[in-house]
Structure 1
């Protein structure tokens, strides 16, 4: 009776990853790609997401081991569509935003694979090359033979810009940054730091929450960021956790109104003896009880 959230059907996930793979391969070979399949899958993603009443933002669990850029792009499309929905964007706008999120890292096709797939942290010279991918993406998406929305192209160009002007590649500030790109910059960072990379482990959702929170108004749009943080579920149903009381529990559900304070089910007492029968507790109704560790 514990329902782990699944935003997209497995069929849609696989089709999206297949279309992204074909797009990247065609861009690499021909410098072009077919827009219709991407627009179609972006529309399907949005239709599936808006059919769900719960707009809480959970980690998706989507990962591809052969190319992390693909799973990152799909995750960003899901998170950004959910955030746009929560911020009141229209369905046609959300479909453009989703397409932009799917394509935001297309410029990485121009980056040397040795740098892109390096198992260690990049040195300064390598990072300077990596920082060129937004410009490469914009250039690819604005070729005359591609009928891509300029909004999609600018999302690729601007997703690493920061509100205080410290981002790249152009150091844009505040409202100079496209609103769609300000949405994407939040979800891009959130997915990147909560995903496993060869040179570091995945960051815990609560630590990622704190990073986004500390960047509000400087790295990230304050309004969009506040909405994002209000919708993040730090714990996914089915997660086993340890409480500050010493008990072990499993997360049962995440109320949309209090996504950081889930309903849990006690499994064992502090001394390790089983809790029988299992007892469910709403952390929203018990502020003295908190989760200290995710197992």
Structure 2
């Protein structure tokens, strides 16, 4: 299978992965040939792309760190938490639900800990906040497992990550959903959300772990002191918060937003790597790049010799040099280029991502 942006979908392409709606219901089933009406439906629901199966990518099997059922259940639960926080308040039942979700995610990621995060996420911009919360939780727990954290600490980390943006429910929806640049005054309002979330959940007295709450409070702090709300730096920032901040930035930048289109994982990975030591913890960035693919399986890339290829294998210790299969090769059999292990290809590099 391979990921195809919605604008590049064509009639007859075969859906390779089930597509679920905002309420968790099945929109389109795996194996379904796409019709023009289906493509319009995908676009109308705000999906930036889907996975399709074709001869170019039939050998590519993408394994996920958590299954679709768990992910959809988590998104639905987070949506309920956010909506009820403003009406009935965040109560003990919601806190217990969050704990169960996080524990289930922790257990599944531990079982799948040898799998790289290799997928471009299938999320709609209408439900961005809820998908984002779950994704940040998953990515944070993946990093925690790789660090060797015990299950208790993974649970605390995951809970803070899942609820990291809960304070945004107390910021004007007009500001959160604004499609153009924020004014300085509006940005100051947005910057209050870590404090608002931390203070609200602390006052609620729901037996939430302190380290998880600190993760919520500090997830916008930066290593050089340029973050908010307290301008903390270096070791003054809790390690859980440093983990959540990386997961938060990665998922946010790879998502379609009202004010900008999604960036490709490779572009965001370059940003994170460039910020190692200044904005982000360099050791955690190194760990993140081992577990999250810069060029997810099925990504079509352009090589510096002019060839187009599709990524068929990634390497944790060499994320920018995957194994690729050349598209439209003149050879009788597919031509594979192993950018990591073939020394004869040392001068061959990936220059960008193409949409085909």
Q: TM range, normalised to the smaller chain?
A: over 0.9
Q: Is the 8 A contact 2:192 2:229 kept in 1?
A: yes
Is the counterpart of residue 3 in structure 1 residue 61 in structure 2? yes
User: What does residue 193 of structure 2 align with?
Assistant: 133
Q: Is the 8 A contact 1:161 1:169 kept in 2?
A: yes
Distance 2:240 2:346 in 1: 36
2:340 to 268, 271, 284: 284
User: What does residue 269 of structure 2 align with?
Assistant: 209
Q: Which moved more, 1:281-290 or 1:14-23?
A: 281-290
1:22 to 73, 80, 88: 80
SS of match in other structure, 1:172:
coil
Q: Is the 8 A contact 1:161 1:171 kept in 2?
A: yes
Q: Deviations over 1:35-92 (max 9, x none)?
A: 1111111111111112124343435414133231111111111111111122221122
Distance 2:282 2:140 in 1: 15
Q: 1:112 to 1:144 in 2, by over 3 A?
A: closer
Is the counterpart of residue 164 in structure 1 residue 224 in structure 2? yes
SS of match in other structure, 1:200:
coil
- Superposed counterparts of 1:15-54, under 5 Å: 15-33=73-91, 34-54=94-114
Q: Which moved more, 1:31-40 or 1:73-82?
A: 31-40
User: What does residue 236 of structure 1 align with?
Assistant: 296
Q: Is the 8 A contact 1:134 1:157 kept in 2?
A: yes
Is the counterpart of residue 194 in structure 1 residue 263 in structure 2? no
Structure 1: unaligned runs, 5 residues or longer: none
Q: 1:31 to 1:196 in 2, by over 3 A?
A: same
Distance 1:62 1:73 in 2: 14
1:81 to 134, 141, 156: 141
Distance 1:275 1:100 in 2: 52
Distance 1:210 1:290 in 2: 15
Q: Deviations over 1:108-142 (max 9, x none)?
A: 00011100111112121111100000011001210
Q: Which moved more, 1:13-22 or 1:91-100?
A: 91-100
Q: Is the 8 A contact 1:110 1:133 kept in 2?
A: yes
Q: Is the 8 A contact 1:5 1:237 kept in 2?
A: no
TM-score norm. by structure 1 comes to 0.93
TM-score norm. by structure 2 comes to 0.77
Q: Is the 8 A contact 1:244 1:292 kept in 2?
A: yes
Please provide the CA RMSD for this pair: 1.7
Q: 1:275 to 1:243 in 2, by over 3 A?
A: farther
Structure 1 position 225, deviation (Å): 2.0
SS of match in other structure, 1:66:
helix
Q: Is the 8 A contact 1:283 1:290 kept in 2?
A: yes
User: What does residue 159 of structure 2 align with?
Assistant: 99
SS of match in other structure, 2:244:
helix
